[in-house]
Each structure stands twice: as C-alpha cells, then as structure tokens.
Amino acid sequence: MKELKSTLTVDVPEVIISGNAHDSSFLVLEFVNEGTPSSNAQRKLGGQLAKMHMQEKPYFGWKLDNCIGATPQPNPKTENWVSFYLNSRLIHQFDLAEKKGQTFTGKTELTENLEALFIGYSPHPSLLHGDLWGGNSGYNQNGDPFIFDPASYYGDREADLAFTYMFGGFNQSFYQGYEAIYPLESGFSIRKILYNLYHELNHFNLFGGGYANSAQSSINHLIKNLP
C-alpha cells in the first residue's frame, strides 16, 4: 500500500499502522467515504494505473513474499520475467493444485514452451497492484477513483490489466484512458489468457468448483496458440 501511495498516481488509502499481536496480524487504513463515480472516473483510473505501471525496478518480484487472497505468493527477485512467471506463479499454483489431487492436461507442454508466447515481447518490471478486480477499486465522495487490497510486486503490467477482464467492473473508458498514456503491445489477447490462468488456478486452490474447468480451458487455448 505504501509503495503504491508513494507513486502519486492512483489514490490508495493511507496506512495508519500495521503489526502483529497475539499471533495475528493487523492493518489499520484511512477511512474513505465512498461515493458515486464521476463521469470520467473510469478513464481517470485507467490513466492513473498506466502512470503507476511506469514505475519500474531493475528486477521482477518484490522485497518479500506476500499473499494473493489467502494463498502464499513467492516473489524472489528475478531478472527474467518468463522464468519468474513460470516458477513463482504457474508452477507454484500447479503444485498446490496437485496437492489437492487435481492435475491438468497439457500442463507440461505449456510450461516447457512458455517462452514461445513471448516472442517479440520483452516486458519491463512495472509496479503492479497484483489483485486488481472490480471489488478492489472504489470511488470517494468526490467521485474520484482509488484502489486497495493489493498483492503487489514488480511484473509485466499486462498481468494487472488481464485480471481487470476476469470479473468485469471496468468499462471501455478505463481501457481507453490506459492506452492513451501507455499503449499495449501486440499479442496481449493471448497473454491475457496466460495471466488469468494464474488467477483461475489460485481460485481453484482457494475455492475449488468450476475454476478447474476454467483453468483447463485456458491451458487448451494457450497450447493451440503456441507458435
């Protein structure tokens, strides 16, 4: 939260205090009175997110491990994005799924050929929210946007944008506002599926149910689109 706040781009609630007590952790944030979004709020949020994604580091990962929901999220500092995403995101989630007795057809073919989906594309390590779905954004009483509940790390900016599509909550003005500041590169439509596979696997590991079918469908689609 503090690192997002320090970018002076998209607004986030101020961290008042955090710590541990009686074997539990706590976090106290600034209270924000929610209101109705202004007419240009989504476009404004898209532009602010683009500017936040321009905050870069010389490595992918984070200063420490964190969580995505209740799932541990490893963030080793890594120079190569494909290696980071393969080992610290996909394989990590596949391993958790296997512990629950779930295997996925095509997992090996996908993971062994992951670099093929990045031919001609070299992402920079951008500061990410990490869990940017509609429920983690809001609007204050002035109608201006803010975001909260991050699972931040430095990664491909497309990973943030991909998740905004998974559950909706962001309209065309949001994407127009983003691309007006930081246009996307070709191939995003396929990489979007790859990045949301991580969340589909995570949701299976957290909640089970039909998320396994969603993940399998994404794997099948990605394999069909391997060069």
DSSP secondary structure letters along 103-118: --TTHHHHHHTGGGGG
Of the candidates 23, 95, 131, 156, the residue annotated as catalytic is: 131
* Residue 99 falls inside a structural domain: yes
Q: At what angle do helices 91-99 and 188-207 cross, to 10 degrees?
A: 30
Can you give the pLDDT at residue 79? 97
Q: Is residue 179 part of a domain?
A: yes
Residue 16 lies in a domain: no
Domain of residue 188: give its range: 34-224
- Mean per-residue pLDDT, 167-177: 96
Q: Look at residue 23 in the predicted model and tell me its pLDDT.
A: 84
Instruction: Give the mean pLDDT of 120-133.
Output: 97
Q: Is residue 10 part of a domain?
A: no
Whether the CB-CB separation of 61 and 78 falls below 8 Å is answered with yes
| pLDDT the model gives residue 24 | 85
Q: Residue 92: which residues within 8 A CB-CB, separation 6 or more?
A: 73, 74
In a domain, 73, yes or no: yes
Domain at 218, CATH number: 3.90.1200.10
Domain-located, residue 90? yes
Rg, the chain, Cα only: 18
Report pLDDT digits (tens) over 76-114: 999 999 999 999 999 999 999 999 999 999 999 999 999
Residue 23 placed within a domain: no
How many other CB atoms are there within 10 angstroms of residue 170's CB atom?
Answer: 21
Q: Is residue 6 part of a domain?
A: no
Q: Is the pLDDT of residue 209 over 90?
A: no
User: For this structure, is 156 an active site residue?
Assistant: no
Instruction: State the total domains in the chain.
Output: 1
pTM over 0.85: yes
The pLDDT confidence band at residue 215, using thresholds 50, 70 and 90, is: very high
